[in-house]
Structure 1
């Protein structure tokens, strides 16, 4: 004999079941991508959300790299940290030594039963964001390296061959003179002065930036900038600034507008700048390798990565952690990583994404887009693996302020380098003491 169930009870059960089915786990992702890059990050989150119903990623812009890192640390201390925080590469050591604040990514992926394999990533990328044991501590995302962009239209007007860009620093200086003579407001400029003109300069010429393998070997690292090659380089640039062929464009990426607006003929900046040039530049441009000094034995070596990786904060729930790893694996899938690389200029972080891009014919159709990958595609040395120093953002501040004085003729390159080393070493000693 069957017993009838009241209609209201049935409706309540159905509604409750529907509510359970619709309850997705929210994941908060703070990032520093703006403009065209911010639009792409938002699209990645939207596409991931649409691809499944268990998790909803909320991608939120929190200011530039320095601002978002400070906001993330402050939020953790206040007990309301985001689940994922994008941190620029110079913040790697700070995050690694933030005891109890972060969950190492590879360890977390194993914990939730959805392993991430570091061997899937390009060696230069995985190596930078790995522990001494070779395990990923953060998730590679927007890895870049500096390249040199040049205005092909301006080259043609100045009588320079638009298909033969300068390869060496003397050639850059000579081309800059011709560009200025042809009416260009700026011959050469750069973004991220300390990253390009000091850190990558050292790796590109296979000389040390700091002791202890640029910091990878331990907390006792100290700066090694007060050397003849750095003095030669900054003297060279100071002379260009004095004659008006080198224009200082500001810290960070403030100088990007000089090139994108068409005022500057040559510009060293992040490979990730390509998306903004494509969208806003009103001229034909080319991409080539970083300049080097031909009398330095072994140069060029390889450039080092910049950009940022994704860090996971501790103290989150198991469902959140499972969703974070699912999102990371979605972003690193060959189609997604290849599309990000092709649309932005950031390097393809995985071997599969690089192979997929090559097979698609993208590099053949878009000359110069493989430059960044090729600059990184080398057997790295102790001098060119990268730089992992505590308080590196603050060290860069000292370097940038000093570079400004050098280019303005207010201090000699020799005195400036001593000032950088003195201020930087003081910070490194303080960081070493703070984590013991």
Structure 2
């Protein structure tokens, strides 16, 4: 299976540029249920590289120091794709992990693999209060009303803009564009100053998924694969075609510049003052604000959408934690105890300020370190508000298909074809939908 990284980042650098982990009072009060003469070992595979790897390792160390019954070993396994490949190779062997982090678009595969124990089992057993978690985050990882895995690193896409370029173009720097038309006008105005291109949208399938969900549009049939197994791609819907037409017109009219697929190229152009607006993950917020320091002020806004769009919102990206069912019951329970530690308000506050990912626990926002961080980075309030204002439906919960990584690449190819005038937006998306549908049907037969 061809796999690609999620949320604008590979596992090796997920979260963008972040500060080194600091001692912020990580929680040390976890109370595992089972005691043992020797600590129960939990092997945790993850894909958080760079500074985020240090944060994960610190959280595991804090958990280990908080009690004597369980010892967690956090092992970095490379990118999301690398990790999943290693996981497949280890399934059913003594080398498999107790707990594994898998990116969000790998969820359908994990369910179909039948190698995991849904965390709902432990939630029910412990009478764990799910209402303490963000519903628009847990909603992605829930199917048929049950939570299969625990969200870990979560992000979504927002609009970033250069306030200085807004001022130079005669635009109000405190009013980011909210609609497709307003975005086009703002980009036109910036381009006409001759100081920079108005905007850039990296050719990234995740952005197309976000723009569709923001309009209440689904990616595949059968309720985005949530009311029944998806059998057909609908990425060529009228909403999708209109969205790609808008995107193409931005480029054709010189309001936006096409810099290709790499989100890093988009961020570099933004920080260099070469483009006025970009779309990017919330996980990259600190890196962009810090990178623009002493050069220009970064503004943030909700994702734009047509003025007549249906109710929608953003789809969370990132990854979640899965408990493997080939481990002994007490080892699985130990993994669950570690998960509960990770989702505590103090740990979520620590995770948030050191990585830029959302806290999945509501009370984390009450922690003083989060309040202080929000004062330092007020732009993040946009991300929080956008998440909370998202209308929960099958569109914003995200599509669930076993070939999502391939589907994302196919959509990126279709966007390229349209922007490079090789096909019309409709023809490009018609071709993408047909190809994705074929892969979905082939996958479904394999699963059966």
> Structure 2 length normalisation: TM-score?
0.82
Equivalent residue in structure 1 for 2:333, among 300, 314, 322: 322
CA distance in 2, matches of 1:125, 1:84: 20
Checking the alignment, whether the CA contact within 8 Å between 1:103 and 1:313 is kept in structure 2 is: yes
Once the two structures are TM-superposed, the CA of residue 345 in structure 1 deviates from its matched residue by: 3.5
Q: Is 2:137–2:154's contact at 8 Å kept on the other side of the alignment?
A: yes
Q: Residue 232 of structure 1 aligns with which residue? A: 242
Structure 1 residues 409 and 35: CA distance shift in structure 2, 3 A: farther
**Counterparts of 1:257 and 1:78, CA distance in 2:** 43
Q: What is the rounded CA distance, in whole Å, between the counterparts of 1:116 and 1:263 in structure 2?
A: 49
Which range is displaced more, 240-249 or 266-275?
240-249
CA distance in 2, matches of 1:261, 1:79: 50
Q: Output the CA distance in 2 between the equivalents of 1:44 and 1:359.
A: 17
2:165 aligned partner: 154
Matched residues in 2 for 1:109 and 1:80: separation? 27
Q: Is the 8 A contact 1:125 1:349 kept in 2?
A: yes
Residue number among 197, 201, 207 corresponding to 2:211 in the alignment: 201
Select 1:294's aligned residue among 291, 302, 307. Answer: 307
2:230–2:400 Cα contact (<8 Å) kept: no
Within a 5 Å distance, the mapping from 1:233-312 to structure 2 comes to: 233-251=243-261, 253-254=263-264, 255-282=266-293, 283-296=296-309, 298-299=310-311, 301-312=312-323
CA 258–323 in structure 1, closer or farther in 2 if over 3 Å, else same: farther
Question: What number of residue pairs does the alignment pair up?
Answer: 410
User: Are 1:216 and 2:226 an aligned pair?
Assistant: yes
Q: Which stretch has the larger CA shift, 319-328 or 283-292? A: 319-328
Aligned residues of 1:114 and 1:325 also touching (Cα < 8 A): no
Instruction: Measure, in 2, the Cα distance between the counterparts of 1:335 and 1:345.
Output: 15
Q: Which moved more, 1:334-343 or 1:268-277?
A: 334-343
Alpha-carbon distance change, 184 to 88 in structure 1, aligned in 2, over 3 angstroms = farther
> SS where residue 52 of structure 2 aligns?
helix
Sort the Cα spacing of 1:257 and 1:53 in 2 relative to 1 into closer, same or farther, 3 A.
Answer: farther
What are the equivalent positions in structure 2 for 1:96-111 lying under 5 Å apart?
96-99=111-114, 101-108=115-122
Aligned residue for 1:97, secondary structure, equals: helix
- Secondary structure at 1:258 match in 2: helix
In structure 1, C-alpha distance between the alignment counterparts of 2:417 and 2:106, rounded to whole Å = 25
Q: Give the distance between the partners of 1:394 and 1:115, measured in 2 at CA.
A: 38
d(CA) in 1 for partners of 2:47 and 2:274?
A: 27
Deviation at residue 394 of structure 1 after TM alignment? 1.1
CA RMSD of aligned residues (A): 2.8
Pairwise CA distance, 1:344? 3.6
- Contact 2:345/2:363 (<8 A) preserved: yes
Closer/same/farther in 2, CA of residues 228 and 130 from structure 1, 3 Å limit: closer
Contact 2:353 2:370 in 1 (8 A): no
Paired position in structure 2 for 1:332: 343
- For the pair 1:127 / 2:142, whether they are aligned, the reply is no
Secondary structure class of the residue paired with 2:233: coil
Alignment gaps of 5+ in structure 1: 1-19
Q: How far, CA to CA, are the matches of 2:100 and 2:260 in structure 1?
A: 26
1:27 and 2:42 are equivalent in the alignment: yes
Return the index of the structure with the highest Cα Rg. 1
- SS of structure 1 residue aligned to 2:139: helix
Alignment of 1:43-62 (within 5 A): 43-62=58-77
1:191 CA drift (Å)? 4.9
- Structure 1 residues 85 and 374: CA distance shift in structure 2, 3 A: same
Which residue of 2 is the match for residue 140 of structure 1?
151
Q: Is the 8 A contact 1:24 1:53 kept in 2?
A: yes
Q: How many Å separate the matches in 2 of 1:184 and 1:74?
A: 52
Question: What CA distance in whole angstroms lies between the structure 2 residues aligned with 1:193 and 1:205?
Answer: 18
Residues 286 and 377 of structure 2 are in contact (CA less than 8 Å); yes or no, is this contact kept in structure 1? no
Separation in 1 of the partners of 2:370 and 2:289? 23
Deviation for aligned residue 1:355: 5.0
Following superposition, the deviation at residue 81 of structure 1 comes to: 2.0
- Separation (CA, whole Å) in 1 of partners of 2:68 and 2:195: 54
CA offset digits 1:146-169 (Å, max 9, x no partner): 111112233334443321211122
- Pairing 1:72–2:87 present: yes
